Amino acid sequence: MALQDRLSTEEKLRIVQELVPGKQITLAHVIAAPDAILYQKLGLDPSIDYAKSAIGIITMSPAETAIIGADIAMKASGIELGFVDRFSGTLIVTGTVSEVEASLEAVLAYSEKTLGFTVCPVTRT
């Protein structure tokens, strides 16, 4: 087959993929007593965040809901926001273990009861 034939777009199938997210929280996890290197690799400041001894991670869809989740998490306890991504739906918070757990539980409760989301249980390592 000639190069010209391979480059031709005639009779070729074009596939377009779209993400059609449901209303869900697929991950809610608490990392208790993480190593300082984990804070650094996540782009968090270990001199501020490491003393608090816990990292919380939530993955939400639709992704913009991470903004609402961040607001609820901050109002529910004394956590610090580590990262909010409105494009991937990722929320990372830091604080004491009890603060992080309380903030994640508050986000899950609001999302399930008020927004009608399907939520997962909080896991912990």
Walk across the sheet containing 24-32 and list its strands: 80-85, 90-95, 54-61, 24-32, 123-124
For residue 124, give the 3-state DSSP assignment.
strand
Q: pLDDT by residue for the chain (125 residues), tens digit each?
A: 566 666 666 666 767 655 556 899 999 999 998 888 888 888 887 666 566 689 999 999 999 999 999 999 999 998 999 999 999 999 999 999 999 999 999 999 999 999 999 999 999 99
| Candidates 1.10.10.60, 4.10.410.60, 3.30.70.1710, 2.115.10.20; CATH matching 24-124 | 3.30.70.1710
Query: In the block, which residue shows the tokens 């997210």?
Result: 21
CA distance 115 to 68: 11
CA distance 5 to 91: 48
CA distance 57 to 30: 7
Q: pTM of the full predicted structure?
A: 0.79
Whether residue 94 contacts residue 49, with contact meaning beta carbons closer than 8 Å, is answered with yes
